[in-house]
């Protein structure tokens, strides 16, 4: 063989190896669910009908002690999608838009986002529904201005089907028959409409996602697809067939249902109270509280059905074995605990949410992990199990150890609001206010979980304060 032929052969072999490597890379399906607390059968709530998410957990790893880094949609999604804490800005729903402005002004000062990093490593990236804060990822008055992009340079395609709801802003707070917030009528806090899954926006999101899965399958290239479902975000509207699942169920008692008497992150449930409640209040009306909880459960079952449709399509196309599936709740939601109906606190109920990671041949599949982990860990974990480099600017830790062995230890989880910050360890949560006031909750005894024990254990407060401050040095 002459030198020219030999060089050509070597080049072809290298090209074949690179192509094969690309074809063998696993796809990513990231499912983001709004306001989903661990109200799932696979997380121990046996009255909940969640067979599809339960099946996903049975084929992967459910993280029972996963905590988000901020108890509001935009700030929580910021940490997921950037892999970084951001304590230098108000913890609100504008964080990703602020990042986009900075990216435009000083491109070199902004690190690539999670989808941008996968895109840089050869993945096609697609977003459908509410992945960043705005469904569809655009800004402007009605969240549909193509000149105002929430996550520039991140997605090859970003979609939000509108259906009967006029625009993406309408989709965010929608009821059946095209009802949206801001048209004069105050929307009801819940409803059960006698219609199919397309009676609400998540049904449309599922249809669009399935079409994109089909298109991506046809390309044969690795993809990173994120699908964001809106329920169980308020208002709690879902097809009636899902509410019917809870007609006869007995609901568990609400844990520590009273407003704390000490300073805390308690909030007055303003988001919930602005809806039409027929002059009823779940705080003082136990029967109405149960109605609200049943409608929340119906929304969970509705979204569970959408997850099932996505999984069925992966199976139908033979893609499931080559796809890493992540299901993530963007934060929890109080259903009366601490006298709150909503999120926006630093209590356990606002910060704990489901995390499930599933892929072929995961060791000890179906065994849950009780290690404390946090949302900021998802970025490096996906890099690690996909075989692409973990960028140096990431603040989280890969969960590969916990995926290989569910009994592996975790680490503390931190969270923050503008006026306070928190750290969660295996047994304790410390909430430290900017004025120095401390709350300490002990989870080693369920009866004490809602009681502030800071004065009883000053040494633990000091120890956790030091840990918290050390962890948050990463933000600098």
Contacts with 264 (C-beta within 8 Å, 6 or more apart), sequence order: 338, 345, 347, 431, 439, 452
- Work out the number of other CB atoms within 10 angstroms of the CB of residue 318: 9
Q: Which string of b and e fits 419-450 if b means at least 16 CB within 10 Å?
A: ebbbbbbeebbbbbbeeeebbbbbeeeeeebb
Is residue 236 reached through a cis peptide bond, with omega within 30 degrees of 0 on the bond before it?
no
Burial level of 152, CB count in 10 A (0-12/13-18/19+)?
middle
Q: What DSSP letter does each residue of 201-244 carry, written as one string?
A: HHHHHHHHHHHHHHHHHHH-S-EEEEEEE-TTSSSEEEEHHHHG
Note whether 439 and 430 are within 8 A (CB). yes
Element holding 430 (H helix, E strand): strand 428-433
- What distance in Å separates the CA atoms of residue 372 and residue 425, rounded to the nearest whole number? 7
Alpha helices in 387-457 (DSSP H): 400-404
Alpha helices in 88-223 (DSSP H): 95-105, 114-120, 168-172, 201-219
The active-site residue, picked from 133, 167, 233, 334, is: 133
Active site residue 133: yes
Active site residue 73: yes
Q: What is the β-pairing status of strands 27-33 and 323-329?
A: parallel
Cα separations in angstroms, 351 against 19, 174, 335, 344: 42, 25, 13, 9
Q: What DSSP letter does each residue of 59-72 carry, written as one string?
A: TEEEEEEEE-SSSS
The active-site residue, picked from 32, 73, 369, 383, is: 73
CA torsion 71→72→73→76, rounded to 10°?
A: -50
- What distance in Å separates the CA atoms of residue 366 and residue 435, rounded to the nearest whole number? 44
- What distance in Å separates the CA atoms of residue 115 and residue 388, rounded to the nearest whole number? 13
For the annotated catalytic residues, the residue numbers are: 73, 133
């Amino acid at each position: 063989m002459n030198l020219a032929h030999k060089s050509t052969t070597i080049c072809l072999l290298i090209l074949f190896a690179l192509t094969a490597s690309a074809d063998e890379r696993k796809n990513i399906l990231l499912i983001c669910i709004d306001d989903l607390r661990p109200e799932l059968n696979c997380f121990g709530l046996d009255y909940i009908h969640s067979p599809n998410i339960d099946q996903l957990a049975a084929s992967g790893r459910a993280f029972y002690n996963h905590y988000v880094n901020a108890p509001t949609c935009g700030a929580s999604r910021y940490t997921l999608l950037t892999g970084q804490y951001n304590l230098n800005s108000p913890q609100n729903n504008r964080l990703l838009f602020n990042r986009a402005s900075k990216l435009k002004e000083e491109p070199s000062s902004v690190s690539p986002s999670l989808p941008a990093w996968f895109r840089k490593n050869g993945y096609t990236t697609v977003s459908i529904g509410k992945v960043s804060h705005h469904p569809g990822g655009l800004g402007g008055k009605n969240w549909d201005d193509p000149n105002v992009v929430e996550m520039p340079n991140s997605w090859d395609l970003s979609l939000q089907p509108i259906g009967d709801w006029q625009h993406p802003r309408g989709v965010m707070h929608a009821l059946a028959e095209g009802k949206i917030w801001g048209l004069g009528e105050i929307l009801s806090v819940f409803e059960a409409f006698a219609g199919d899954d397309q009676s609400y926006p998540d049904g449309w999101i599922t249809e669009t996602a399935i079409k994109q899965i089909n298109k991506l399958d046809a390309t044969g290239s690795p993809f990173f697809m994120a699908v964001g479902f809106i329920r169980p975000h308020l208002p709690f509207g879902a097809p009636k067939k899902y509410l019917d699942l809870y007609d006869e169920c007995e609901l568990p008692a609400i844990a520590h249902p009273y407003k704390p008497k000490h300073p805390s992150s308690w909030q007055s449930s303003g988001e919930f109270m602005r809806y039409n409640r027929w002059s009823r209040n779940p705080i003082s009306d136990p029967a109405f509280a149960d109605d609200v909880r049943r409608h929340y459960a119906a929304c969970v079952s509705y979204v569970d059905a959408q997850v099932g449709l996505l999984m069925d399509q992966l199976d139908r196309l033979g893609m499931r074995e080559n796809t890493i599936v992540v299901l993530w709740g963007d934060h929890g939601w109080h259903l009366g605990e601490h006298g709150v109906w909503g999120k926006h606190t630093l209590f356990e109920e606002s910060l704990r949410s489901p995390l499930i990671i599933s892929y072929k041949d995961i060791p000890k599949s179906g065994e849950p992990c009780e290690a404390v982990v946090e949302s900021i860990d998802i970025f490096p974990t996906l890099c690690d199990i996909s075989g692409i480099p973990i960028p140096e600017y990431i603040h989280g830790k890969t969960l590969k150890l916990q995926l290989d062995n569910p009994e592996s230890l975790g680490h503390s989880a931190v969270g923050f609001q503008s006026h306070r910050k928190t750290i969660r360890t295996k047994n304790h949560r410390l909430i430290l206010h900017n004025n120095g006031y401390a709350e300490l909750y002990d989870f080693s005894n369920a009866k004490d979980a809602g009681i502030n024990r800071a004065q009883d254990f000053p040494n633990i407060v000091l120890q956790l304060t030091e840990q918290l401050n050390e962890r948050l040095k990463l933000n600098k």
